[in-house]
Amino acid sequence: MAREVPEREQQRLRLEGVGRRYGRRGRWVLSGVDLEVAPGALIRIEGANGTGKSTLLRLLAGLDAPTVGRIVGRPRTAYVPERFPAALPFTAADYLMHLGTVHGLSRPAAADAADEWLERFGAAEHARTPMSELSKGSSQKVAVAQALLAEPELLVLDEAWTGLDDPARGELEGAVVERTAAGGAVVFVDHDPRRLAGRPDATYAVVEGTLNPRTGNGDAHADGPHVVVRAQGPAGTAPPDEVTELAALVEEAAGDAHRITVPESRSDAVLRALLGARPPWHVVSVEPEPEPAPASVPDLARGIVPRPREPESIETESP
């Protein structure tokens, strides 16, 4: 059971004017980032691949340092990376016990916590299995368990749900809710926009290296830049339900194709859903959403607004 820690005993974490680049002449991965993580806060970070989300999470977790700006405060932090190094010289239980003692638990307490979290994530049968022999899903369960062992004040999750089975995904969502209810803060990235829907206290989007608060103001483009995915499925079939839930607009096109307009931050999830469908859909092209052509004065006077031009098709190979 999570131990409640009064807010006054925990530290806030603040990023003030933080920028990060790699190498003296490297491009700025992040620039001018201001963010406060208060005790008990649940914060979601969104953004397309390569925008700097993982770099931001590593800074929050204390695993990287800013090139400019400063980070104030350092709560007890645990981190689940996007890629967990599973080939470690431990069994699952021994690894968790080792990490538990690193986080300040006694060996008996670490052993009890290891047993509890392996049980909760449905991995108790793998407690004595060498880490190098675990499946990707079981390895991910250990990765998540190690972060929850010592009830951190700040939990940083980088695509932590990826690779988990449905029961374990639900268990992790429950653990996040428990952590914030106990006064801990959680910052997470996940490709599924439905993850913990309605629960985050704040959502931010990383766009071209800057961190922008996302607001639901009813604007169809409030989620940032959009892309257009042209995809073709079996004759007479509609796109998978997951695609229509993620998309801003789905339109039929010629030849059993569909034109799917989706926020750039959700495009990876849409592509996964299309290619993972049975039978899989063929992705014809992925293009930035074109800007509408300006209307002429006579057209505007007659109430005619030109349609956006269709993007050119770019053939891509399905994996």
For 191-235, the pLDDT digits (tens) are 888 889 889 999 999 988 999 987 543 344 445 688 899 999 888
Q: Looking at the domain assignment, is residue 315 inside a domain?
A: no
Same domain, 63 and 104: yes
Total of domains in the chain: 2
Same domain, 184 and 242: no
Residue 35 near residue 201 (C-beta atoms within 8 A): no
Task: Give the pLDDT mean for 184-193.
Answer: 92
Find all residues with CB under 8 Å of 314, minimum gap 6, and list them.
284, 285, 286, 287
Same domain, 87 and 60: yes
Tokens of 171: 């268990």
Residue-wise pLDDT tens digits, 276-314: 888 889 999 998 887 655 544 444 444 444 444 444 443
Q: Looking at the domain assignment, is residue 316 inside a domain?
A: no
Residue-wise pLDDT tens digits, 50-108: 889 999 999 999 999 999 999 999 999 999 988 887 778 899 999 999 999 998 899 99
Residue-wise pLDDT tens digits, 104-152: 899 999 999 999 999 999 999 999 999 989 999 999 999 999 999 999 9
pLDDT value of residue 245? 76
Same domain, 266 and 190: no
Q: Looking at the domain assignment, is residue 306 inside a domain?
A: no
pLDDT value of residue 10? 59
Same domain, 231 and 86: no
Same domain, 202 and 266: no
Same domain, 166 and 295: no
Find all residues with CB under 8 Å of 260, minimum gap 6, and list them.
228, 229, 230, 231, 239, 243, 247, 249, 250, 251, 270
Same domain, 128 and 15: yes
Of 215, 196, 212, nearest to 204 (Cα)? Answer: 212
Of 237, 212, 236, nearest to 223 (Cα)? Answer: 212
Domain span holding position 247: 226-301
Same domain, 70 and 205: yes
pLDDT value of residue 314? 38
Same domain, 166 and 236: no
